[in-house]
Structure 1
Amino acid sequence: MSQSIPQAQPVTVSLQDLFAGSVPFEALTEAFGPSSLGIIVVKDLPPRFKDLRAQVLSNSSYLASLPKDELEKLESPQSKYLVGWSCGKETLRSGHFDTLKGSYYINCAFYQNPVLQNAPADDFPDFPQYTAPNIWPSEAKLPTFRPSVEELCTLIIDTAALVARACDRYALANVEGYKEGYLEHVVKTSLTTKARLLHYFPTEAGSSSTEEKKKKKKGDNDNAGDDDDDDDWCATHVDHGCLTGLTSAMFIDEALHSPTSSPSTTPLAELTASPDPKAGLYIRSRTGHIVKVNIPKDCLAFQTGEALELITHGKFRAVPHFVKGVSVSPSASASTTARIARNTLAVFTQPNLGEEVQRGKTFADFAREVVERTY
């Protein structure tokens, strides 16, 4: 990757402007349109957001540090590992299984009703990716895990609904035959919205995730180590939902602040900035250029997905993106034994399985195609 990566300046709007419905169409076109980055940043979030983000992203490290046998109890093979803990189940662009990060998938049906843990299986008995119930870590081990992630996901979906309302205003004026309020309806009534809590495993000082990936691939295939992929943590892809809510990443030196020796109810100490300026979220622009996007810690970002592109007949475009991992040099940290983990949360707002995203194609049809080619 080039030594100088352009830093993108995404469109930023305030939560108050979204409430008031005063975000101009020009801003939405700049954020989501055919020549856009496909991302918008929302600032001035509720005060509770800061503490929720700190606890939820810390819980990602606490979770990943559980013994292997306990993590295996949190897996859901029946859902193709799209509920609960997942590591080494997803294939990257190279065709190799991704073992450099762990994910915890959560159905957000509780947004509609606190007792719901999955979409109903009545009409889709063969779609356990969404109809299998949530699995939760033991309250004795991680007492804040479930309540904090449910509260943060609810805040993110509430904000996504306001972004969707702004998109609806635009689409009603610019998409022939668009149904008034459709995207907001999809976001607010969905039983299939899915959250993904991510833990990018620590890298050692003096090494990089790219090097570790190559070592792993070298062990699988002597010719595989010749690749020099930029997207070493997450293959370039587009999300298949409508709007993806993203927190900024939390970077933790687990050598200094071990999740195995700290009480899980206490947020872990966060680095003030990434020890590697190149680590983070990258977007491949419409012109093919790669730009890096930084999300402020007190903000949320929302990316466009394929379902939104279909719903708006291409007026808003899905954003190709990838994540680059941390490369830590000894001079980048006060500790030469630094072990830097990266934690983040993504919430994929998605239509209900029976909703049409394209004439004659339901979201279930569309999502099944995506899952089969990815997992």
Structure 2
Amino acid sequence: MGSSPVQGHPVTVSLKELEQGSVSFETLTEAFGPSSLGIIVVKDLPARFRDLRATALSNASLVAALPPAELDALSSPASKYLVGWSCGKETLRSGRFDTLKGSYYGAPADHFPDFPQYTAPNLWPSPQLLPTFRGSVEQLCALIIDTAALVARACDRYALANIEGYRSGYLEHVVRTSLTTKARLLHYFPAVEDVVGNRDGGGDDDDSDDDDNDDGDDDGDDDWCATHVDHSCLTGLTSAMFVDEEANPPASLSSSSATASSNIPELPNSPDPKAGLYIRSRTGQVVKVNIPKDCLAFQTGEALELITRGRFRAVPHFVRGVRRARGKIARNTLTNSTHIGASAARAGGEVVCGLCEGGG
């Protein structure tokens, strides 16, 4: 990708339009349909969103800077490292372990022992070390789920009118009640100096908890997150926060002396204009998608494609890392994948149930 990236322009709707149920079927088809980018942006969010995003994403850098003993205590081998902190546990296609990013996973339920990767108890950092971590992550995830439910309600209206036998309110019920929803707070570590521009070992993993349908490496551009589609119904995501950890070392903030307002200053934009989220369009064109900082975006996953019998399509996407930038530039983001729980999957049929039980 030597030239400037092609900019994609996702469909944008307001939160009020979703609440009022006034998003047209044409708009939904433009956002999710066969010729779409498979992503919708929601604007005019509650005023608290801006601060929640800033605090939660800042905490991604802070938790990654904790001492090894603290991070070990936040790790969960029983959940296959899909609850709590995970770094260097996932094997890439090359056979090496992914150490270019760290993840903090959270799940809403803990009483299904057969699926510990989704339902093991959450592991939270000590409030003495990171006083704002738990509150900001929980509140931001709740806001994302509430907004996802409104997007799902709009999809339900469309499906009820266009799909024979569709059960009214099915997708919204899944989003609001699933016990296998998974949140992932991601910290992409700054590039090591001698591999900037040649990150050939860090792009074979994905940007959510369960996404594994790799479509290739797009000529090496997907060095922070390989091309994949999500298993989920809808994946909610914030815009990425870029921070300079050389100018603002997170270790100096992740300590008992840190205050509730100790956020790492956010860069106004990515120092590398080519870094960020890319989507492979239905025509095969690769386009870059920018999510405004005051908005949320929702991508379609495989489960939604199955639920809507192909009317809405899962979106292949990847993340390109920062290259040729001064300082130690890290990227933080949060995704929340709304999955189909076992009971809802049974109602959706054998194929959908397979996504629930096989999406590890």
TM-score (norm 2): 0.90
**Aligned CA-pair RMSD:** 2.1
For 1:254 and 1:215, the matched residues in 2 are separated by 20
Deviation at 1:293, TM superposition (A): 0.3
Deviation at 1:130, TM superposition (A): 1.6
Which residue in the other structure is 1:335 paired with?
none
Which residue in the other structure is 1:299 paired with?
295
- Classify the secondary structure of the residue corresponding to 1:3: coil
Which residue in the other structure is 1:120 paired with?
111
Which residue in the other structure is 2:335 paired with?
346
Which residue in the other structure is 2:189 paired with?
201
Which residue in the other structure is 1:32 paired with?
32
Q: Percent of counterpart pairs with the same letter? A: 67
Which residue in the other structure is 1:327 paired with?
323
* Contact 2:33–2:312 under 8 Å retained in 1: yes
Say if 1:39 and 1:216 are closer, same or farther in 2 by CA, change over 3 A: closer
Say if 1:94 and 1:7 are closer, same or farther in 2 by CA, change over 3 A: farther
Q: How many residues get paired?
A: 342
Which residue in the other structure is 2:251 paired with?
260
* Contact 1:37–1:286 under 8 Å retained in 2: yes
For 2:67 and 2:199, the matched residues in 1 are separated by 22
Which residue in the other structure is 2:123 paired with?
135
Counterpart residue type for residue 236 of structure 1: T
For 1:361 and 1:287, the matched residues in 2 are separated by 26
* Contact 2:339–2:356 under 8 Å retained in 1: no
* Contact 1:239–1:304 under 8 Å retained in 2: yes
For 2:357 and 2:180, the matched residues in 1 are separated by 13
Is 1:370 aligned to residue 345 of structure 2?
Answer: no
* Contact 2:101–2:186 under 8 Å retained in 1: yes
For 2:158 and 2:352, the matched residues in 1 are separated by 23
Choose the corresponding residue for 1:276, options 272, 278, 285.
272
Which residue in the other structure is 1:244 paired with?
235
Say if 1:206 and 1:93 are closer, same or farther in 2 by CA, change over 3 A: closer
Is 1:310 aligned to residue 306 of structure 2?
Answer: yes
For 2:237 and 2:270, the matched residues in 1 are separated by 17
Say if 1:92 and 1:290 are closer, same or farther in 2 by CA, change over 3 A: farther
Choose the corresponding residue for 1:159, options 138, 147, 152.
147
For 2:93 and 2:292, the matched residues in 1 are separated by 29
- Classify the secondary structure of the residue corresponding to 2:171: helix
Residues 54-203 of structure 1 correspond to what in structure 2 (within 5 A)? Answer: 54-107=54-107, 109=108, 118-121=109-112, 125-203=113-191
- Classify the secondary structure of the residue corresponding to 1:211: coil
Give the gaps of 5 or more residues in structure 2.
205-217
Deviation at 1:235, TM superposition (A): 1.2
Say if 1:216 and 1:26 are closer, same or farther in 2 by CA, change over 3 A: closer
Which residue in the other structure is 2:49 paired with?
49
* Contact 2:32–2:39 under 8 Å retained in 1: yes
TM-score (norm 1): 0.86
For 1:244 and 1:84, the matched residues in 2 are separated by 19
Say if 1:367 and 1:2 are closer, same or farther in 2 by CA, change over 3 A: farther
Counterpart residue type for residue 350 of structure 2: G
- Classify the secondary structure of the residue corresponding to 2:287: strand
* CA deviation vs aligned residue, 1:160-218 (integer Å, no higher than 9, x gap): 0100011001111111111011111111111211100000001257852x52445999x
Counterpart residue type for residue 190 of structure 1: S
Which residue in the other structure is 2:210 paired with?
none
Which residue in the other structure is 1:223 paired with?
none
Counterpart residue type for residue 349 of structure 2: R
Counterpart residue type for residue 41 of structure 1: V
Moved more, 54-63 or 72-81: 72-81
Counterpart residue type for residue 292 of structure 1: K
Counterpart residue type for residue 21 of structure 1: G
* Contact 1:205–1:328 under 8 Å retained in 2: no
For 2:316 and 2:334, the matched residues in 1 are separated by 18
For 2:290 and 2:103, the matched residues in 1 are separated by 21
* Contact 2:10–2:41 under 8 Å retained in 1: yes
Say if 1:272 and 1:104 are closer, same or farther in 2 by CA, change over 3 A: same
* Contact 2:74–2:125 under 8 Å retained in 1: yes
Counterpart residue type for residue 154 of structure 1: A
* CA deviation vs aligned residue, 1:325-364 (integer Å, no higher than 9, x gap): 111344xxxxxxx10010000001112123227522454x
Residues 201-240 of structure 1 correspond to what in structure 2 (within 5 A)? Answer: 201-203=189-191, 208=196, 210-214=197-201, 228-240=219-231
* Stretches of 4+ aligned residues off by more than 4 angstroms: 204-207, 214-217
